[in-house]
Structure 1
Amino acid sequence: MKKTRKAHIISHTHWDREWYLPYEKHHVRLVQLIDALLDKLDGDSEFRSFYLDGQTIILEDYLQVRPENQERLQRHITDGRLLIGPWYILQDAFLTSGEANVRNMQIGHQDAKRYGEVAKIGYFPDTFGLVGQTPQLMQQSGITNVFFGRGVKPTGFNNTVSDDGYESSFSELIWEGPDGSKVLGILFANWYSNGNEVPVEEAEARAFWDRKLADAEKYASTSELLFMNGCDHQPVQLDLPEAIETARKLYPDTEFIHSNFPDYLQAVEQALDNDSLSTVKGELRSQRTDGWGTLVNTASARVYLKQMNQEGQALLEKVAEPLASFAHVLGKEYPHHLFTYAWKTLMQNHPHDSICGCSVDEVHREMVTRFDKSRHVAESIIDDSKQAIASAVDTSVFASFGEDALPLVAMNTTGWKRTGTISVELDAARLYLREGFTLEETARRMKEVDLSGRVLMDDQGNVVDVTVEDLGLLFGYDLPDDQFRQPYMCRRVKLTFLAEDVPALGLRAYAWVRRSEAAASSAVAADSSSGAAASSVGSSLLHGERILENEWLQIEIADDGSFSLTDKVTGRVYRDLGVYEDTGDIGNEYMYKQPEGEVALTTKGLPACISVLEDTSYRASIEITHDWEIPVSADARLDEEQRALVYYPERKAQRSRETVSMKLRTVVSLERGGKGVHNETTIDNKAKDHRVRALFPTDLSASVHHADSMFEIPVRDNEPAPEWVNPSNTQHQQAFVDVSDNAGGAGLTVANLGLNEYEVLRDGRNTIAITLLRSVGELGDWGLFPTPEAQCLGEHTVQMKLIPHSGDGMITGAYAEAYQFQIPWTVCQTGVHNGVIAPTYAPFQWENTELAFSSLKMNEATGDLLLRWYNMSGKHTELTLISNIPSQYFYKTTILEEPQEPIAGNAAGGLSLLVQPSEIVTIGLRR
């Protein structure tokens, strides 16, 4: 009989490293699974292949326990029976940075290549939605396909799927990114377990295949049907060859094969009629669904994890890598091995069940340790690199201020020129214990160090306003490369000042010096001889106790702690900013659910205590405190509904009538040249089952808004699709969200540090609501898994920055300011010495308001420097780059950083390159 269809059965397991069990309990089961798989591959040639879930960390995890089986793994990978890569881990898309995703692809390829061929499969089986730049990232990785389970089709409780709201005509589709890159999309329309546990017995097999074949044909555009034989932590189906043989007997019109992804793709591509396929563009966020199964509120589950991740990513990609690259140019070894270790440790927190905060408590405790471990490595690289750089800076300009001049170097590792307030601790004097003085004498000498009569100077000889805090006597130690540790006592001070116009990826030198005759003639000086904090004299940014004002902005605090913000450039006034909202949450770690009929509580009209916290010429801050009575938790019905596994949208629980005090402390700060308002909030959370948000009404006329995502700033509708019924329309962000009225010439950008959830409210004011804290008590999904630590009791501090502008956040620089907000300053004390670097210096120069700088790093294989930007705009733009680093030539490459031919017509000292709309562009510099 002629075969009319082909059933491709692909063996796999979807391996969440940690989720409803802690990592090591999953780890034990993984070892058992791979042991059984290797035995099967060794003994049965009919069991043709197995896909290791697209992530090479499975090999690491297995070999950590079973190193003696490396040769067996190697043999089956070489023979093409075990398919590995392309990723290191299966990451969440919206909560991990663009560079983290690039490192994930790079390290996955590097590890896979050690064994053999990399599976060029764009694998996203259970990713909670996909970012719009995924097609471009795949194309730049040599991958022309994406397999995915979420984003265009409703997925509900326990991963059940529905036919409503399907955005594609078939399970095969064309997915197009904002730059025009296209890939073949394969939707797991019946989930990635639609071929799981195939029966061997004929009666069961007939019932199974009658249903499964019909389900697949309902969506497939060809007769090549895909069946995924496996699921979450699914053991290998060892009798699959026998089950396939049964199916062949029962269905002579169907060709059943034990297939793999490359063979299936080849068959589908040959059979496809591309003209019949739907083209889906941009982000895949399940917006054409009822809104209850998007899992979007994982963006606010355990916010502390998101904050630690933001810090860890920023330190590695935006500080440690560029500093290590610059230090390498100066002769220091680039620590590739440490970066790989730090990135791997960080990325072990990036799988969706991990970074999304939707696992049991034990999982997230271990994540905190991993975040710390990765950060400690990054900080060590930063310390070594900044010392090497500072030692190469020519600080001899400060030699005229005496032998005890104390130079320091401020380093700006962002992609834009930067001005901002920084703090640095300096050792005014040290006395090493090796000098032989008693501890009492050492302490006495350090206490007697004279700190008076000093000023801060920049490299141009200008006195800089500074606040000096005497930190007193402190113990410290050096760890020399060629000696035993060297302990000392020192007299330490903390300097806080405004660093101005530090160049992009560059530095500027300052020094805290004795007041010379030149400095003494200045009207501005600082004196900290009393040991207390002292501020230099200058114009204040405060007007009374409620108004902050500089050249660009005015902020006025109201009695309830909210504030108005006047953009003095446009004249636009934003009112009622900084009101806090509290609602109940009877959902779970995945999704927020407000109790039916509940009216949100807010601090609008709630009297606040307001006082001046800081008043210097370069920065002023006002402290606002609230003692707010809120319900202590949900009522008893929530526990009953959780135990009965009531689907969260159908729950009827309410909030308790018992209340508890939640203390909020807000610090609103404005810098002298600042174009944004810094907002820091500390929440002392004593309540359960609730959500806290900060509200920022824009009162702007706009039907869409912008939000920062991976290598793009997508435009999103304020109103959800007609299919959306969830009252909440919260969404993902990374660095910022922006509402703009281009016609009206005004916009408001709200930047954040690790606050990944926002909502533009449909309240008639286009209010930007930022989730600061969400407290829930269960994991959710397919059973009852209590998570008391997800209630996030205790103190939490969050940071935001409000940046008004004239209607285009990209052209006005508001987005650049928001990106800079993500990245800490680096400051290093050094000595007075000659050096090869000028006291104000940058290794590269470029200017382009449409390009966002993303990374500077070194390629391990070639030793080349790699710089990456992405085009924030939807139009062509030009990158003009000048290098102050001696080089042979530049070349354009992909995110995999493979060397290419030199860019034609460009000199070694610079280049000019046309950048396509929304393009991610990587430039290699061959030295």
Structure 2
Amino acid sequence: MSRKYNIFIYHHTHWDREWWATMQDFRIRLVELIDELLDTLDSDPEFRCFLLDGQTIVLKDYLEIRPENEQKLVRYIRENRIQCGPWYILPDEFLVSGEAHIRNLWLGHQVSERLGYDNLDVGYIPDTFGHISQMPQILQGFGIDNAMVWRGLGGPEETFKQEFLWEAPDGTQVFAYWFPDGYYVVDFLHFDNPQKTYDETFGRVRRSLERWTKRATTGNLLMPYGGDHRLIDKRLPRLIRAVNEDLKEFGEMRWATTKEFLTAVREEQPKLDVVRGELRRTGADLPHLLPGVLSSRIVLKQLNQIGQNALERYAEPMSALAWLHGRRYEASMLWKAWELLVQNHPHDSICGCSIDQVHREMLPRFAQSKQIADIVTEKSAQHINARIDTSDLPEGAMALVVHNPLSWKRSGIATVHVLRTLDIHPRTYVLLDAAGGEVPFQVKDAAVLKPMTDKWRYTEIAFEAKDVQGFGYRTYTLMKRETALDPKQLFVTTVQAAAKLKGSDAPADLRIGSNLLENGRLKVEVDADNGTLTITDKASGTIYGGLNAFEDGGDAGDTYNYGAPLMDQVLRTSGSPVRVHVSAEEAGYAKATLKVEVDWSLPKGLDETRRSRSSDYVACRLTSYVTLAAGSSRVDIRTEWNNEAGDHRLRALFPLGKTAAVSHAEGHFDVVERPVAIGDAGNGWPETTVLQLPQQGYVSVGGSGRGLTVASRGLPEFELLSDSRGTLAVTLLRAVGWLSREDTLVRVGGAGPETPVPDAQSYGPNAAEYSIVVHSGDWLEDRSYVQAHEYLTPLYGTLTDVHEGALPKDDGLIELIGEHTLLLSACKKAEASDSLILRFWNVAKRPTEAVVKLKRKPAGVCYANLREQPLSGGEIDIAEDGSFFVRAGAAAIVTLAVELQR
């Protein structure tokens, strides 16, 4: 042995709040654990310290049951005998948004601030199923310059070391430690068992340490002692002494903290390799990535996207705008909504890989979070509406106010709900813009439960709102016509020739015909034989065919891994016998929807051997509502079906029309490029190569004259197929019946208990929403991401009455000027000051800048970190007209603190 090693052992538990048992079941175990820990710390000064995982929610869960122990618990944290944090919960990184990660760290900070201790500044994320590319930048934004990771990377011990520099796409680095054998090490478990040999006790510890030396960059080794829901081991002081006696010539083990180990390694200043970007690797000697969680229980992902959008895109910015107009900023309510939502973000929760009861208990948290967000949004919008001067409206008129929760001027379809006490129809009512021009609109009955009212019967008014300013609004007037229009008139424009008043008029560019929708930009045709769509881009003449075909294959995996059965049978609606029926679901001047019904048959499940699909078939009707709006350059689709089949995967297919080498998918403050080709299928590996990939909102392929972007609401899994057509496959459903199974072909061993989870089969009604954007180049040059975000964040339509006010009918807070590549991800009031927080990120891998012009001249603007603390030297000059430059490096996250006169 050329050197003696310093062996740092940290005692810990990895606490899944809910997983193979419910939250309350695990909480009882947690209370018993912390009770015993406190008693042991009281009685044994040699029991040095214990890590309560990297999350603070364990403190909250414990103190709700044992509030009398708060003072003692906090004292031991201050004395560094208990460590926890910095997270509120340990999240899955790929299935929640970038802003959700920031709020998670904020919530962790709030717990420590409330209890009066300093949070642990270690980026402890040992068991997430891979790591996002921008995590180094997020951690550094909270003053955390390190990370401890496991899944998603590794390699031969000769070349891959346990310490490295992890670099985000913007160049931000953190010092990172990789667990060579994972965080779950219990080598002392059998030490007091007389039946165990030296080789099974001391020898096992020695072998682990010797193995780790080959990956160490310094003379320091780290031994985790603990694991999932592991309790404390009161024998540890004695056991460490016994092990040290055995390891005299090798090194010395000492009880330490993770921070002490990281500090010791850094003090030796080793030369470290740089690992860049996201960590999602599989390989011959890598830990399981468990990528099937991207599509397990899709409904959870959909509810999460709805909840995140409700907070990030509506409640927070609308509350901030109302605050600028004198309303109280509802910070406590918003944080409560975030807390409920983030409690669903642990990697065993949002991943859908827990028992059924756990996921049933997630649904009320999703619902309650969104209830708060919706109410805050509506109250904020009405506060602004009440200050708009509508006093010049005629008697009996209504003001329809359309709010834009995005940071750029946009046009699009707005919907407003009016109580069904008035007979509102284009024949008897007219809608006018601020200049007095008539705006075509359409109506339909709607049954919705809106916040703060017990009414549910409404008339939905839909129309194209044009040029609504960034973080602003535009007001329209709805009033009775002096003379009703001809009762024979049809308020639709037809493709085929039509008689006068029967579809011949064209007040907008939208037309509908047999199996056809068309506007000034797109022509959408439905194939009557298989139900697929053909979209023609009128500007370029490019035709995209075979869109929205469906593929269904067997799944003999579990909630952790998709695994095709040994003898799979993959069916496609573009090649299988199907029956198609197309009808006009909605037709009007603003938007039109075709209802495309595809009747199909699918195998009922797997056969008894689980090696093949069943020879029994069940009916499956896929109903796609295909919508094209006036002036729109995208096609929106909602597909519904009643799932009666088990153990299968259903995907929607979108061929580009030529081969594609790479995909670009929005991630977390990053658009990630990934190749289609795979170098090694992974034969013989612990887990085979992963073809399915994550996305946060949209994925795009294209270049050299053809481009295709698919945006989706809560469908985080896609695959770019290695076919000649560059086909994107977006997973709509993955139905399985087991938490974990040992017999899947794609993974060695289990990933959890072998427990049946029938709810994960997703029987019954299902739905998926997505949108197709065609363009002539790649996603960046054609800015297809703008269309994707407009789809994900519809305009917010409201209703107000006639009143005086100080605000004009058309207003906006922000304008970004220049050929920039900035997207705004957050608009909120600062936590500790009266500043407005604006957070941007650069979608491009090159620097960018823009002139920001606000409605009011700021008193001051500065760059801040993610904790909203001003950066040294970060003051920004403000021009006479109130505008200022914001600059962002490649893939950089930029947070601005803006002082505004309220």
Asked whether 1:456 is paired with 2:426, we answer no
| SS at 1:252 equivalent | coil
Distance 1:66 1:456 in 2: 60
Asked if the contact 1:553/1:567 (under 8 Å) is kept, the reply is yes
Asked if the contact 2:375/2:451 (under 8 Å) is kept, the reply is no
Instruction: Note the C-alpha offset of 1:899.
Output: 3.4
Distance 1:878 1:68 in 2: 54
Asked whether 1:180 is paired with 2:175, we answer no
**Which position in structure 2 is the counterpart of 1:437?**
none
| SS at 2:13 equivalent | coil
Distance 1:782 1:465 in 2: 57
Instruction: Note the C-alpha offset of 1:459.
Output: 1.6
Alignment of 1:123-142 (within 5 A): 123-142=124-143
**Which position in structure 2 is the counterpart of 1:438?**
none
Asked whether 1:122 is paired with 2:97, we answer no
Instruction: Note the C-alpha offset of 1:627.
Output: 1.6
Instruction: Note the C-alpha offset of 1:539.
Output: 5.2
**Which residue identity lines up with residue 650 of structure 2 in the other structure?**
V
Instruction: Note the C-alpha offset of 1:680.
Output: 1.2
Instruction: Note the C-alpha offset of 1:475.
Output: 11
Task: Give CA deviations for 1:468-489 in whole Å, capped at 9, x if unaligned.
Answer: 33679x999978xxxxxxx8x8
After superposition, the Cα gap between the structure-2 partners of 1:69 and 1:129, relative to the gap in structure 1 and judged at 3 Å, is: same
After superposition, the Cα gap between the structure-2 partners of 1:537 and 1:923, relative to the gap in structure 1 and judged at 3 Å, is: same
Alignment of 1:5-84 (within 5 A): 5-84=5-84
**Which position in structure 1 is the counterpart of 2:670?**
712
After superposition, the Cα gap between the structure-2 partners of 1:292 and 1:600, relative to the gap in structure 1 and judged at 3 Å, is: farther
| SS at 1:39 equivalent | helix
Task: Give CA deviations for 1:266-302 in whole Å, capped at 9, x if unaligned.
Answer: 100112422xx32111110015559994211111100
Instruction: Note the C-alpha offset of 1:251.
Output: 1.7
Instruction: Note the C-alpha offset of 1:337.
Output: 0.9
Distance 1:812 1:2 in 2: 59
Distance 1:318 1:25 in 2: 35
**Which position in structure 2 is the counterpart of 1:440?**
none
**Which position in structure 2 is the counterpart of 1:506?**
472
**Which position in structure 2 is the counterpart of 1:871?**
842
Distance 2:554 2:180 in 1: 34
**Which position in structure 1 is the counterpart of 2:397?**
405
| SS at 1:124 equivalent | coil
Alignment of 1:525-604 (within 5 A): 538=507, 541-542=510-511, 544-559=513-528, 560-604=530-574
Distance 1:666 1:777 in 2: 27
Asked if the contact 2:553/2:564 (under 8 Å) is kept, the reply is yes
After superposition, the Cα gap between the structure-2 partners of 1:165 and 1:747, relative to the gap in structure 1 and judged at 3 Å, is: farther
Asked if the contact 2:517/2:525 (under 8 Å) is kept, the reply is yes
**Which position in structure 2 is the counterpart of 1:495?**
461
| SS at 1:599 equivalent | coil
With the length of structure 2 as denominator, give the TM-score of the two structures: 0.91
After superposition, the Cα gap between the structure-2 partners of 1:833 and 1:734, relative to the gap in structure 1 and judged at 3 Å, is: same
Instruction: Note the C-alpha offset of 1:526.
Output: 7.7
**Which position in structure 2 is the counterpart of 1:341?**
336
After superposition, the Cα gap between the structure-2 partners of 1:555 and 1:476, relative to the gap in structure 1 and judged at 3 Å, is: closer
| SS at 2:652 equivalent | strand
Asked if the contact 1:135/1:183 (under 8 Å) is kept, the reply is yes
Instruction: Note the C-alpha offset of 1:187.
Output: 0.5
Task: Give CA deviations for 1:819-858 in whole Å, capped at 9, x if unaligned.
Answer: 2222233222111122222211111111454111111011
Distance 1:621 1:143 in 2: 50
Asked if the contact 2:152/2:287 (under 8 Å) is kept, the reply is no
| 1:273 equivalent among 255, 270, 274 | 270
Asked if the contact 1:554/1:566 (under 8 Å) is kept, the reply is yes
| SS at 1:722 equivalent | coil
Instruction: Note the C-alpha offset of 1:247.
Output: 1.3
Alignment of 1:369-448 (within 5 A): 369-397=364-392, 399=393, 401=394, 403-427=395-419
**Which position in structure 1 is the counterpart of 2:440?**
465
Distance 1:843 1:757 in 2: 35
Asked whether 1:190 is paired with 2:181, we answer yes
Unaligned regions of 5+ residues in structure 1, if any?
Answer: 154-163, 430-445, 480-486, 528-533, 639-652
Distance 1:59 1:595 in 2: 44
Distance 2:281 2:121 in 1: 26
- Is 785-794 or 544-553 further displaced after alignment? 544-553
Instruction: Note the C-alpha offset of 1:525.
Output: 11
| 1:768 equivalent among 724, 728, 731 | 728
| 1:350 equivalent among 338, 345, 349 | 345
Distance 1:882 1:844 in 2: 6
Distance 2:171 2:110 in 1: 28
Asked if the contact 2:555/2:563 (under 8 Å) is kept, the reply is yes
**Which residue identity lines up with residue 408 of structure 2 in the other structure?**
W
Instruction: Note the C-alpha offset of 1:212.
Output: 2.0
Distance 2:893 2:426 in 1: 50
Asked if the contact 1:165/1:288 (under 8 Å) is kept, the reply is no
| 2:696 equivalent among 709, 734, 746 | 734
Q: How many residues align?
A: 862
CA RMSD across the alignment: 2.7
Instruction: Note the C-alpha offset of 1:165.
Output: 6.1
Identity, in percent, stands at 36
**Which position in structure 2 is the counterpart of 1:680?**
638
Distance 2:524 2:286 in 1: 37
| SS at 1:762 equivalent | coil
**Which position in structure 1 is the counterpart of 2:586?**
614
| SS at 2:858 equivalent | coil
Distance 1:720 1:601 in 2: 24
Instruction: Note the C-alpha offset of 1:579.
Output: 0.9
Distance 2:427 2:849 in 1: 52
Unaligned regions of 5+ residues in structure 2, if any?
Answer: 493-501, 741-750
Instruction: Note the C-alpha offset of 1:492.
Output: 4.6
Distance 1:734 1:477 in 2: 28
After superposition, the Cα gap between the structure-2 partners of 1:858 and 1:846, relative to the gap in structure 1 and judged at 3 Å, is: same
| SS at 1:843 equivalent | strand
| 1:822 equivalent among 774, 792, 814 | 792
**Which residue identity lines up with residue 238 of structure 2 in the other structure?**
E
Asked whether 1:214 is paired with 2:210, we answer yes
Bigger helix share: 1
**Which residue identity lines up with residue 774 of structure 1 in the other structure?**
R
After superposition, the Cα gap between the structure-2 partners of 1:717 and 1:478, relative to the gap in structure 1 and judged at 3 Å, is: closer
| 2:823 equivalent among 852, 866, 872 | 852
**Which residue identity lines up with residue 222 of structure 1 in the other structure?**
T
**Which residue identity lines up with residue 669 of structure 1 in the other structure?**
T
Asked if the contact 1:128/1:151 (under 8 Å) is kept, the reply is yes
Asked if the contact 1:197/1:230 (under 8 Å) is kept, the reply is no
Instruction: Note the C-alpha offset of 1:370.
Output: 0.8
After superposition, the Cα gap between the structure-2 partners of 1:763 and 1:290, relative to the gap in structure 1 and judged at 3 Å, is: farther
Instruction: Note the C-alpha offset of 1:807.
Output: 1.2
Asked whether 1:911 is paired with 2:884, we answer yes
Alignment of 1:150-299 (within 5 A): 150-153=151-154, 169-194=160-185, 196-197=187-188, 200-201=191-192, 203=198, 205-253=201-249, 254-274=251-271, 277-288=272-283, 293-299=288-294
Asked if the contact 1:165/1:723 (under 8 Å) is kept, the reply is no
Asked whether 1:861 is paired with 2:832, we answer yes
After superposition, the Cα gap between the structure-2 partners of 1:53 and 1:670, relative to the gap in structure 1 and judged at 3 Å, is: same
Asked whether 1:921 is paired with 2:894, we answer yes
Distance 2:457 2:347 in 1: 47
After superposition, the Cα gap between the structure-2 partners of 1:884 and 1:602, relative to the gap in structure 1 and judged at 3 Å, is: same
**Which position in structure 2 is the counterpart of 1:791?**
761
| SS at 1:680 equivalent | strand
After superposition, the Cα gap between the structure-2 partners of 1:887 and 1:476, relative to the gap in structure 1 and judged at 3 Å, is: closer
Asked if the contact 2:150/2:287 (under 8 Å) is kept, the reply is no
